[in-house]
Chains A and B, each alone.
Chain A
Amino acid sequence: MEFIAGLANGFLSLFQAGAATFTGWVTGIIPLVVVLMTAVNSLIKLIGEDRVNGIAKASTKYAITRYTVLPVLAVIFLANPMCYTFGRFVDSKYKPAFYDAAVSFVHPVTGLFPHANGGELFVYMGIAAGVSQLGLPLGDLAVRYFFVGVVVILLRGIVTEKIYLHMLKSDGKNG
């Protein structure tokens, strides 16, 4: 009997560490995320998608805004995965590059605006949880993640645009 009880305890202890982690996340992460997400969601509903359409269209003209302003607006206002529908504003030859820029922003955005990708928070949250365990503030990391994200999507947009146009050209010669 004692042997079986010991076995059961060993089995349960395997999950106690997990239970502690779960409690920590539910009390430490969820309250802030819920309130922040509700606030930003409300704000975005009040502003409305229609009102950013004008800015979105205007930003497609230059590469520097096409791969920064447009994807950032798309991700914040439409969230993953509907943000890719802003691709309709850009010229066919820039669509793959726009997609690359937009999709590459769906994680950097979550540090400051978790509503934009609520299903995939843990790319950021997982790493951030370790940083806050050390007692360090997360603001600096979230802001830097956001802005490095903007630089990276600009780079991705430009590089993917070049590669796509090159492929389009060589494909035309072969065909």
Chain B
Amino acid sequence: MYKSVTVKAGKGGWGGPLTLVPTEAKHKVVSITGGGIHPIAESLAAMMECEAVDGFSTGVPDDEILVAVVDCGGTARCGVYPKKRIFTINVLPVGQTGPLAKFITEDIYVSGVDESCFSYANESDVQAAAASSAPKSKAQAKQEVARMSAGKEKGFITRLGIAIGGVVSKFYAAGRETIDITIKSILPFMAFVSMILGIISASGIGDVIANTISPIASTLPGMLIISFICAMPFLSPVLGPGAVIAQIVGTLLGVQIGLGNIPPQYALPALFAIDAQVGGDFVPVGLSLGEADPETIELGVPAVLYSRVITGPAAVIIAYVASIGLYS
């Protein structure tokens, strides 16, 4: 017999509380945390007497997922499952952020979760959770009515007005999306990286980087080694999330280019050398967004990771050749 559990937000977390009611059809706790089952997923599954699944190596059809456990720093994963309206638990304290921020709502998402956030649900919560799925069909009916009335004939002026309004509203929405992402993603990143850079340059670590990394990053063999390390199948899923590491390394190399320690034409191959792991953490999620079935995901993950060992360094060579004549 399955047990229902209420999950509330942990320290610094956001969203929830969510009441999880496992059923015969929907009883899988899927851990999408870069390989392995996260302890939080494990203990939640144990409380509910459900099955915990490693979503990184095993594909699970969406309609069997009761809840997805992610460790997303705020780029993509934390929004992908809410967008599909699958309950999402983020073990990191991340709120409504990333390109899919608008789908991250309190009724589907909870973050900063640790084991103290779980408690068995009482009867009234379970009934409320069961009832909340019903009103959706009413909303759908309303939409259908709206669609039917939209099909009626309209005059030329009305149509022109609607068209202009439509265009303007699209411009406005574009502006709002841009400002959203600037405030929610770009500025926070600038804040934290400029802090790190400041400390690095004021504390003298900058000189160490200039003396060790710069000579490596300004030769072709050195960059091939960097890309090979980034592409190693056991490292690439760890280095991937949010491209945070690639972004920091990119900024550090940028500083060295600015100081003249790395020639500017090496910028192009360097961009590929530090990015051989791109998306290595995201393969199962990306594949499920592309409607791949679980078997495809299972073999697809290692296929992509192994491929990078070849194509990572190859990309550096292509970029190196293509950088001939750049800034000279």
Contacts and interface: CB of A to CB of B under 8 A. Distances in A.
Contact of B304 (A30, A42, A100, A121): A100
A84 B289 contact: yes
Given A92-B296, A123-B247, A141 B278 contact: no
Contacts, number: 290
Given A37-B181, A140-B327, A148-B268, A95 B296 contact: yes
Contacts of B319: 148, 152
Contacts of A39: 174
Interface residues of A, number: 82
Nearest to A137: B327
Q: In this complex, which of A26, A97, A107, A155 has the most chain B Cβ atoms within 10 angstroms of its Cβ?
A: A107
Interface in A60-86: 79-82, 84-86
Interface string A108-129: 1000000100111111111111
Interface string B280-301: 0011011101111100100111
Given A86-B290, A148-B322, A164-B303, 6 more contacts: A85-B289, A96-B292, A99-B283, A133-B258, A160-B311, A164-B300
23 contacts: A14-B202, A16-B202, A18-B197, A25-B190, A41-B175, A41-B177, A41-B178, A46-B167, A81-B282, A82-B100, A84-B286, A87-B287, A93-B296, A95-B290, A96-B296, A99-B286, A103-B278, A103-B282, A119-B75, A122-B189, A128-B267, A130-B255, A156-B315
B271 A127 contact: yes
A45 B173 contact: yes
B156 to A, nearest CB: 21
Interface string A135-160: 01000110011011001100110011
B182 A21 contact: no
Contact of A106 (B268, B278, B296, B304): B278
B299 A164 contact: yes
Contacts of A92: 292-293, 296
Interface in A13-72: 13-22, 25-26, 29-30, 33-34, 37-39, 41-42, 45-46
B130 interface: no
Nearest to A22: B194
B258 A134 contact: yes
Contacts of B260: 134
Nearest to A39: B174
B251 interface: yes
A126 B247 contact: yes
Chain A binding surface SS class: helix
A21 B197 contact: yes
B203 interface: yes
Given A128-B267, A163-B306, A123 B299 contact: no
B299 A130 contact: no
Contact of B198 (A19, A26, A164): A19
A118 B182 contact: yes
A124 B279 contact: no
B310 interface: yes
Q: In this complex, which of A29, A102, A119, A168 has the most chain B Cβ atoms within 10 angstroms of its Cβ?
A: A119
A119 B98 contact: yes
Given A25-B190, A136-B327, A152 B311 contact: yes
Contacts of A156: 307-308, 311, 315
Given A30-B186, A118-B181, A130-B257, A145 B282 contact: no
A167 interface: yes
B41 interface: no
Contacts of A119: 74-76, 98-99, 181, 185-186, 189, 242
